[in-house]
């Protein structure tokens, strides 16, 4: 087991903050020396500037947390040398706009439909602020604005606000499953799955692949203990989702709740279908800490998907021990952080014209082998495992308008739900490097 210096690592990589509000700022560096001073102030306890939050344990939960992502053009704007820039992975250098087609960001999700600040090649810094209250959020916003005003311009910002009971906009409880990482404090629910090595999420350690560590960008003080995140603004069409569920409930005689559970792999309250396929309130109840302790194979497994469909969102995104192409069921884990945005959907006011969705951060040491792999191989294709054909993830897949289908396997034969449409549209994305605390100091000293 390797030791990780938690004070070196940005906090949200290794633990969720579960704060009710958040604000993400997109900044362009206009004056590199001043931007260097801003970065220095974020890590060196300048009383005027909120400090960056590390992964060190908290004595008490802070009022706010601050973190930083840097795009490839951002590293260049901060004065990183050409040789160092060239040592970063190719997909990060290309950026989210260039990589859009490969992850299914086409048609209504294509970059020409994105929020303008997320297609601006001048987007350099993504400052991420989470807070315990709106007042704390606004107060920290003022301090940050003051701190960057001399050196950066704001290209855009996006607010997020948690929904009741940790739900996401389609109504499911979210944030239950996260990888258990060897050697760092447990941040999610316990499970019996293989532990992920640190090097799957932080640069500079052995990875999940035998005898392989991901190359650390040069120099080591910039690369080590860093990671990467795909930031995504994902708009959710709750009306289209609800209509699909209602229509198939009346056509099949299944309850709406069961169809929703089959699409996700969990009931709305988070109960996994594998552990309880007929009801979301089994007797005896499943203790909260056991809600992520299951597999699709082995004793009590569900090889054919009769309980949890093989094509459901959670089974695609983490097939666990299930047989998949390349034997990679455990090799493409991802850390998810995020917060909903927009008002809660009110079924009595359909098509209210409000934008709502998820501000998501999908974190891993390799954007290509984790975020992009999940999107291309598991969300937007089905040939990685038996029984799916060329189908897409029912919640996040890039299926064309009404052209998709979803299979509910049953012992008496599969039930196919036709007319699956795209419920989640990408409204923007950014590929960010998440520097360590030492790396922020290194960057601060460059200018």
362 binds ligand HEM (CB under 6 A): yes
Tell me which residue of 256, 240, 268, 264 sits closest to 317, measured CA to CA: 264
- Classified as helix, coil or strand, 20 is coil
Q: Among the residues of 253-310, which ranges form H helices?
A: 256-264
Least distance in angstroms from the C-beta of 321 to ligand HEM:
12
Cα 417 from chain centroid (whole Å): 27
Residue 74 or 360: the one with the smaller Cβ distance to ligand HEM is 360
Among the listed residues 163, 334, 420, 434, the single contact to ligand HEM using CB under 6 A: 334
Are the C-beta atoms of 423 and 237 separated by less than 8 Å?
Answer: yes
Nearest to 128 by CA among 355, 359, 439: 359
Q: Site for ligand HEM (CB under 6 A): which residue of 72, 92, 148, 170?
A: 170
The answer to whether the Cα torsion of 308, 165, 374, 298 is positive or negative is: negative
Q: In whole angstroms, how close is the CB of 173 to ligand HEM at the nearest point?
A: 7
**Which range touches ligand HEM (CB under 6 A), out of 21-29, 165-173, 213-221, 438-446?**
165-173
Nearer to ligand HEM, 30 or 268 (CB): 268
Distances (CA, A) of 144 to 73, 176, 373: 21, 32, 35
374 is a site residue for ligand HEM (CB under 6 A): yes
**Contact status: 395 vs ligand HEM (CB under 6 A):** yes
- State which residue, 127 or 308, has the beta carbon closest to ligand HEM: 308
Quick check: 314 binds ligand HEM (CB under 6 A)? yes
**Which of 366, 41, 391, 381 lies closest to 207 in space, CA to CA?**
366
Give the shortest CB-308-to-ligand HEM separation in angstroms.
10
CA atoms 17, 21, 27, 33: torsion sign: negative
Q: Shortest approach of ligand HEM to residue 275 CB, angstroms?
A: 12
> How far apart (Å, rounded) are the C-alpha atoms in residues 376 and 374?
6
Which span (108-116, 203-211, 370-378, 412-420) binds ligand HEM, by CB under 6 A? 370-378
Instruction: Note whether 9 and 104 are within 8 A (CB).
Output: no
Residues 243, 237: contact at Cβ < 8 Å? Answer: no
Does 137 help bind ligand HEM (rule: CB under 6 A)? Answer: no
Give whichever of 39 and 261 is closer to ligand HEM, judged by the CB atom: 261
Out of 184, 317, 398, 440, name the contact with ligand HEM by CB under 6 A: 317
Total residues in contact with ligand HEM, by rule CB under 6 A: 27
> E strand or H helix at 66, and its extent?
strand 64-70
Interacting residue ranges for ligand HEM, rule: CB under 6 A: 168, 170, 172, 174-177, 234, 236, 264, 266, 313-314, 317-318, 334, 336, 357-358, 360, 362, 371, 374-375, 395-396, 424
């Amino acid at each position: 087991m390797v030791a990780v210096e938690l004070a070196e690592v940005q906090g949200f990589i290794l633990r969720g903050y579960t704060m009710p509000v958040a604000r993400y700022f997109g900044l362009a560096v206009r004056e590199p020396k001043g931007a260097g001073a801003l970065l220095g102030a974020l890590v060196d306890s300048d009383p005027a500037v909120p400090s960056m939050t590390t992964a060190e344990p908290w004595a008490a939960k802070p009022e706010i947390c601050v973190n930083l992502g840097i795009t490839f053009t951002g590293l260049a704007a901060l004065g990183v040398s050409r040789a160092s820039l060239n040592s970063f992975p190719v997909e990060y250098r290309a950026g989210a706009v260039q990589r859009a087609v490969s992850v299914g960001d086409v048609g209504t999700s294509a970059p020409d439909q994105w929020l303008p600040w997320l297609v601006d090649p001048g987007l350099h810094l993504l400052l991420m602020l989470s807070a315990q209250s709106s007042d704390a959020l606004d107060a920290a916003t003022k301090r940050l604005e003051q701190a960057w005003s001399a050196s950066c311009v704001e290209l855009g910002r996006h607010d997020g606000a948690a929904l009741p009971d940790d739900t996401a906009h389609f109504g499911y409880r979210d944030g239950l499953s996260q990888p258990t990482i060897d050697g760092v404090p447990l941040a999610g629910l316990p499970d019996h799955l293989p532990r992920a090595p640190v090097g799957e999420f932080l640069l500079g350690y052995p990875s999940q692949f035998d005898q392989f560590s991901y190359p650390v960008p040069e120099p080591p003080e910039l690369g080590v203990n860093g990671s990467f995140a795909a930031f995504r603004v994902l708009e959710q069409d709750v009306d289209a989702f609800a209509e699909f569920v209602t229509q198939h409930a009346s056509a099949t005689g299944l309850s709406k709740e069961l169809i929703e559970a089959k699409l996700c792999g969990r009931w709305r309250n988070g109960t996994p279908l594998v552990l309880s396929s007929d009801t979301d309130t089994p007797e005896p109840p499943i203790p909260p800490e056991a809600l992520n302790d299951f597999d699709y194979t082995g004793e009590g497994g569900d090889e054919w998907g009769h309980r949890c469909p093989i094509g459901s969102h959670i089974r695609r995104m983490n097939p666990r021990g299930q047989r998949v192409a390349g034997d990679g069921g455990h090799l493409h884990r991802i850390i998810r952080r995020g917060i909903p945005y927009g008002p809660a959907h009110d079924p009595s006011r359909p098509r209210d014209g409000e934008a709502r969705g998820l501000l998501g951060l999908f974190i891993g040491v390799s954007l290509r082998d984790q975020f992009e792999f999940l999107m291309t191989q598991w969300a937007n294709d089905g040939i990685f495992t038996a029984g799916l054909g060329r189908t897409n993830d029912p919640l996040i897949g890039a299926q064309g308008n009404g052209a998709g289908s979803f299979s509910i396997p049953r012992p008496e034969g599969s039930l196919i739900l036709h007319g699956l449409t795209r419920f989640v549209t990408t409204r923007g994305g950014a590929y960010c490097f998440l520097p360590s605390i030492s790396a922020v100091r290194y960057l601060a000293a460059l200018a």
